């Protein structure tokens, strides 16, 4: 057995998802199992390739010259505060339910064993697959260049970056037979008081003032009161005595994605069977509202928190030093070793809420009318905005620059989870692209610090 075939057979073992195209979970298309359920989990959906109206292939007579990829960590356990609530809800059911209705019997013997905050093994595989796909998509650039990797400091994010690198390296070995590059992400601390564009926490009023939190809380409460009462009634009918509230209906629904991704290969959980596809759509929208009004255009300080990243992106796209007075660290951004300019490939690793703020700082949804809190807005009406389309687990944005035979200027486009998101404020062409200069001009919000002053006054 030659070295290449040995490597290939190792890769075959590691990348079960890749080589098995019959599986409903593959490197190229992500999680396509039980899609009428699993694509409606908002930010708890595992990455899946999002339908795109515009082809995301390299356009004819163009060549991609630059890519910034921005990645959410892979699937994780519930956050610590949520895991406590889920566990209490299950305990409440167990202690007070007198009879379990048809389809609900499994709950009687269900043991709550989910952990907190950590990447799951399913999530690790997602990131390996993501790095693999990234190399394959950008092989032209990747053959002679090493990406610059940065990761926010929380354990699951750093581990996600490392898994991504593992997949990237494996794909490179398979394609080129060798890979002697060494990769190590620059880790940006999430400690308080540290400026970190991949994990915002320095906008004081946003962190401490309930006024800013109220936008998401109110939007979700309004939508919950529309769609949840009937579901809660059904749950209580089938779990006599449990006394569940509408909020706990959300926890019951959360148990479906979290038990699914706790399974090594993402076997759909029994909790998912308790709800209909339409109910999952309502749930997805509930999660969408939380992100949109929490960190996106629906929050007065949402986009502002993505400004630091947007200004770093401008620096990378234009090959000029960072100009920013918000969340960047000027020490880090001034050094060639920690913020190199002029490279064709960058990969950053962050969190879903932070990425939501970054996308809004880039104006991707600036022309989208505010999301309704009493009826589901279709993703066509929202330029493709929804939590499951933008920040599923292992989400990846690709911000590309290209040069083309006909146009005498550089073009920019944005691809979120394989969907081309047509740029809104810079005169995009039919392929959703803007001239680099027009794109940078359109980022005046970021270039003028957004509403950063409101973080402190
Ligand atoms: C799996 O599908 C991808 C994309 O369609 C294709 O490039 C690849 O060759 C397929 N792999 C196998 C083992 O069939
Ligand atoms: C998920 O999909 C599989 C295969 O199509 C099917 O057997 C199963 O019943 C589905 N599960 C749910 C909860 O819909
Ligand atoms: C169970 O029911 C009892 C009596 O109705 C009530 O006092 C108790 O709070 C309930 N337990 C939980 C965990 O809700
Ligand atoms: C900026 O980065 C430097 C180098 O990593 C670090 O020593 C310093 O504490 C950081 N300062 C802030 C405010 O983030
Ligand atoms: C809730 O149930 C009532 C009575 O069956 C029905 O009229 C109403 O349309 C339902 N609401 C929703 C949001 O499904
Ligand atoms: C439901 O959850 C929301 C958001 O966490 C909270 O503001 C509200 O007080 C909760 N309602 C009840 C009845 O517990
Ligand atoms: C960190 O951010 C604050 C607030 O924008 C800024 O005043 C400070 O200069 C920054 N520190 C560094 C090292 O860039
Ligand atoms: C959105 O567009 C408005 C109107 O053009 C502009 O004033 C605002 O700065 C933009 N916001 C962002 C985040 O791009």
> Which run of H or of E encompasses 397?
strand 396-404
* 286-290, 378-382, 435-439: least confident range: 378-382
Closest ligand by atom to 335 CA:
4
For ligand 7, the distance from its centroid to the CA atom of residue 455, given in whole angstroms, is: 13
Give the pLDDT band (50/70/90) at residue 287: very high
- Residues noted as catalytic: 73
Asked if pLDDT for residue 19 goes beyond 70, the answer is no
Summarize pLDDT for 55-76 with one digit per residue, the tens: 999 999 999 999 999 999 999 9
Asked if pLDDT for residue 1 goes beyond 60, the answer is no
**Which ligand 7 atom sits nearest the alpha carbon of residue 195?**
1
64 bridge partner residues: 402
Asked if pLDDT for residue 8 goes beyond 60, the answer is no
What is the pLDDT, as a whole number, of residue 48? Answer: 98
Token pair 């029994």: residue: 270
Mutate which of 19, 21, 22, 23 for ligand 1? The one with the most ligand atoms within 8 Å of its CB, which is 21
What is the pLDDT, as a whole number, of residue 16? Answer: 46
What is the pLDDT, as a whole number, of residue 380? Answer: 85
Summarize pLDDT for 361-384 with one digit per residue, the tens: 999 999 999 999 999 999 888 999
What is the pLDDT, as a whole number, of residue 22? Answer: 67
**Which ligand 6 atom sits nearest the alpha carbon of residue 224?**
1
Residue nearest to atom 1 of ligand 5 (CA): 230
Q: Look at residue 49 and give its three-state secondary structure.
A: coil
What is the pLDDT, as a whole number, of residue 10? Answer: 47
Closest ligand by atom to 26 CA:
1
Measure the CA–CA gap between 117 and 98, rounded to whole angstroms. 33
What is the pLDDT, as a whole number, of residue 396? Answer: 98
Question: What number is the average pLDDT over the span 175-196?
Answer: 95
Q: Look at residue 10 and give its three-state secondary structure.
A: helix
Residue nearest to atom 11 of ligand 6 (CA): 247
Question: What number is the average pLDDT over the span 92-97?
Answer: 98
Mean pLDDT estimate for the chain: 94
Mutate which of 200, 332, 335 for ligand 4? The one with the most ligand atoms within 8 Å of its CB, which is 332
Contact predicate 142/345, CB 8 Å: yes
Contact predicate 417/390, CB 8 Å: yes
Closest CA to 186 of 321, 332, 66: 332
Contact predicate 450/326, CB 8 Å: yes
> Which run of H or of E encompasses 349?
strand 345-350
Summarize pLDDT for 302-359 with one digit per residue, the tens: 999 999 999 999 999 999 999 999 999 999 999 999 999 999 999 999 999 999 999 9
Give the pLDDT band (50/70/90) at residue 11: very low
**What lines the ligand 7 site, CB under 6 Å?**
195, 325-326, 329-331
Question: What number is the average pLDDT over the span 206-235?
Answer: 98
What is the pLDDT, as a whole number, of residue 457? Answer: 86
239 bridge partner residues: 100
**Which ligand 8 atom sits nearest the alpha carbon of residue 445?**
9
Summarize pLDDT for 114-170 with one digit per residue, the tens: 999 999 999 999 999 999 999 999 999 999 999 999 999 999 999 999 999 999 999
Mutate which of 330, 452, 454, 456 for ligand 7? The one with the most ligand atoms within 8 Å of its CB, which is 330
Region of residue 339 (phi > 0: left; psi between -120 and 50: alpha; otherwise: beta): beta
What is the pLDDT, as a whole number, of residue 398? Answer: 98
For ligand 6, the distance from its centroid to the CA atom of residue 394, given in whole angstroms, is: 29
Contact predicate 236/243, CB 8 Å: yes
């Amino acid at each position: 057995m030659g070295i290449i075939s040995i490597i290939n057979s190792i890769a075959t073992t590691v990348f079960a998802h890749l080589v098995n195209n019959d599986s409903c979970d593959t490197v190229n298309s992500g999680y396509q199992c039980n899609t009428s359920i699993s694509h409606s989990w908002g930010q708890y959906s595992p990455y899946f390739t999002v339908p795109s109206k515009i082809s995301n292939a390299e356009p004819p007579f163009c060549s991609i010259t630059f890519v910034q990829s921005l990645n959410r960590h892979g699937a994780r356990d519930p956050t610590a505060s949520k895991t406590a609530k889920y566990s209490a809800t299950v305990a409440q059911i167990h202690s007070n339910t007198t009879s379990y209705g048809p389809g609900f019997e499994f709950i009687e013997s269900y043991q709550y064993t989910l952990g907190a905050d950590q990447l799951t093994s399913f999530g690790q595989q997602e990131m390996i697959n993501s790095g693999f796909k990234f190399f394959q998509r950008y092989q032209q650039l990747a053959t002679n260049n090493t990406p610059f990797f940065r990761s926010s400091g929380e354990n699951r994010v750093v581990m996600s970056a490392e898994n991504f690198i593992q997949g990237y390296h494996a794909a490179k070995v398979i394609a080129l037979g060798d890979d002697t590059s060494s990769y190590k992400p620059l880790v940006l601390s999430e400690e308080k008081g540290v400026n970190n564009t991949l994990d915002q926490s320095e906008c004081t009023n946003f962190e401490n003032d309930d006024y800013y939190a109220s936008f998401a809380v109110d939007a979700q409460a309004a939508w919950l009161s529309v769609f949840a009462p009937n579901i809660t009634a059904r749950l209580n009918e089938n779990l006599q005595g449990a006394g569940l509230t509408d909020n706990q209906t959300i926890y019951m629904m959360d148990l479906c994605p979290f038990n699914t991704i706790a399974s090594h290969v993402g076997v759909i959980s029994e909790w998912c069977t308790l709800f209909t596809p339409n109910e999952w759509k309502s749930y997805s929208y509930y999660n969408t509202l939380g992100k949109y009004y929490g960190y996106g255009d629906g929050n007065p300080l949402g986009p502002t928190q993505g400004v630091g990243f947007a200004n770093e992106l401008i620096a990378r796209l234009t090959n000029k030093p960072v100009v920013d007075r918000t969340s960047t660290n000027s020490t880090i951004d001034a050094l060639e070793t920690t913020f190199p300019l002029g490279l064709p490939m960058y990969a950053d690793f962050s969190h879903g809420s932070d990425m939501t703020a970054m996308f809004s700082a880039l104006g991707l949804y600036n022309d989208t009318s505010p999301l309704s809190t009493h009826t589901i807005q279709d993703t066509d009406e929202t330029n493709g905005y929804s939590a499951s389309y933008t920040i599923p687990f292992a989400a990846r944005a690709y911000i590309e620059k290209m040069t083309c035979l006909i146009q005498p200027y550089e073009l920019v486009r944005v691809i979120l989870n394989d969907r081309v998101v047509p740029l809104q404020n810079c005169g995009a062409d039919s392929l959703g692209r803007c001239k680099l200069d027009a794109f940078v001009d359109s980022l005046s919000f970021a270039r003028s610090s957004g509403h950063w002053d409101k973080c402190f006054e």
